[in-house]
């Protein structure tokens, strides 16, 4: 169930963009709040460096969690689907070529698209 929710959540690029934007906003609020409310006063330059450092780290985490990781999962799923389709095609092609019965594939206009060797011998065609 959890994977289905994640899959639906990450299907739309717009949703990913909204999630990333909200996450960046939340991280900015968190960093600014923590520096201005929770930490001791510090020189401006030190505050800017720490603020930039923590925002950079949070930004990379957000990008990884909400953009790169779902993209990698999607790419891996597509690769797996492509490998499965290729394997299924190779198996069907082997069955088609080695069948003892004559077999052919025709389109809607009855043009022969593919025929096995047995059908070619039976019909007298190459």
Give me the pLDDT at residue 53, please: 85
Residue matched to tokens 């201005």: 36
Q: How confident is the model at residue 1 (pLDDT cuts 50, 70, 90)?
A: very low
**pLDDT tens profile 14-38:** 877 787 788 888 888 877 777 766 6
pLDDT in tens, 53-112: 888 888 888 888 877 888 888 889 999 999 999 999 999 889 888 888 889 889 999 998
The secondary element (H helix, E strand) that includes residue 84 is helix 69-98
Would you state the pLDDT for residue 90?
94
Cα gap 74→43, rounded to integer Å:
45
Residue 52: phi and psi, rounded to 5, are -65, -40
pLDDT at site 86: 96
The model's pTM: 0.57
**How much is the pLDDT for 40?**
66
Residue 2 vs residue 58, higher pLDDT: 58
116: left (phi > 0), else alpha (psi -120 to 50), else beta?
beta
- Length, in residues, of the chain: 126
């Amino acid at each position: 169930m959890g994977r289905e929710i994640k899959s639906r959540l990450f299907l739309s690029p717009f949703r990913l963009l909204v999630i990333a934007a909200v996450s960046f906003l939340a991280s900015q609020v968190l960093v600014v709040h923590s520096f201005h409310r929770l930490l001791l006063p510090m020189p401006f330059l030190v505050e800017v460096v720490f603020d930039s450092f923590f925002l950079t780290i949070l930004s990379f985490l957000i990008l990884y969690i909400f953009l790169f990781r779902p993209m990698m999962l999607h790419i891996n799923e597509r690769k797996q689907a492509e490998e499965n389709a290729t394997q299924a095609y190779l198996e069907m092609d082997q069955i088609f070529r080695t069948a003892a019965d004559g077999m052919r594939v025709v389109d809607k206009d009855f043009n022969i698209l593919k025929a096995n060797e047995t059908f070619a011998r039976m019909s007298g065609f190459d």
